[in-house]
Structure 1
């Protein structure tokens, strides 16, 4: 099991943050522009932990070369069942330097956008407090 997966499943915010490179770029399933940097990425992931219910990874797919990983998940947000995938890319040190999330169906993606939108002020404040 990948350390990021274990950290998320354990809801261990510090362990999640420890898997991220300083220059990580987070690409959201519901926002147009990517979010660069560890402080904002960690804050977004903390927000996701707050809005997802019944979260669980169902499958893990690893690149034989070790630089890419996909984690398929299910969760509930705003009463909608969501299916998604975390696509991870690792730098030379083994830290996540790219994290892209995709989700379906559209109704669940919209519920996620609404729930995360409600979290965004807190996310921005947390990122700023941690140097972002």
Structure 2
């Protein structure tokens, strides 16, 4: 999914949000229950950009015109190096309706969980504000 990759790499979070379906389901690498909806998913992705350092995509797996894509990445959280994968599924209109993130190693996932936990009040507030603007 070239548009998603380009938007993430450009730190254009408005463009990332525009690629999300209203009913997108986000599955976190560190929380059991998935998150539902564009507002919370976009807010989580904004939070991730605040905690990931030296983020870069290494490769993309999947057919260019297919509905399923895997974007393999590396990043750092503090002194922890992580590698991971964004698994994307596109709906019939080309919007992302499923986004699952996987990360490794365990120490990196734990660092991500702690960093995102520290962001969660801000993430929840951003999601509420976005829902208020969209009327949802």
Q: Structure 1 length normalisation: TM-score?
A: 0.97
Partners of 1:109 and 1:96 in 2: how far apart? 24
**Which residue in 1 is equivalent to 2:48?**
48
Q: Secondary structure at the match of 1:88?
A: strand
Aligned-pair CA distance for 1:55: 0.1
Q: Unpaired runs of 5+ in structure 2?
A: none
Calculate the aligned-residue CA RMSD, in Å.
1.2
**Which residue in 1 is equivalent to 2:58?**
58
**Which residue in 2 is equivalent to 1:18?**
18
Alignment of 1:1-132 (within 5 A): 2-63=2-63, 66-131=66-131
Aligned-pair CA distance for 1:99: 0.1
Q: Unpaired runs of 5+ in structure 1?
A: none
Q: Secondary structure at the match of 1:130?
A: helix
Q: Structure 2 length normalisation: TM-score?
A: 0.94
Aligned-pair CA distance for 1:58: 0.1
Partners of 2:54 and 2:78 in 1: how far apart? 12
State the aligned residue count: 132
Partners of 1:81 and 1:37 in 2: how far apart? 29
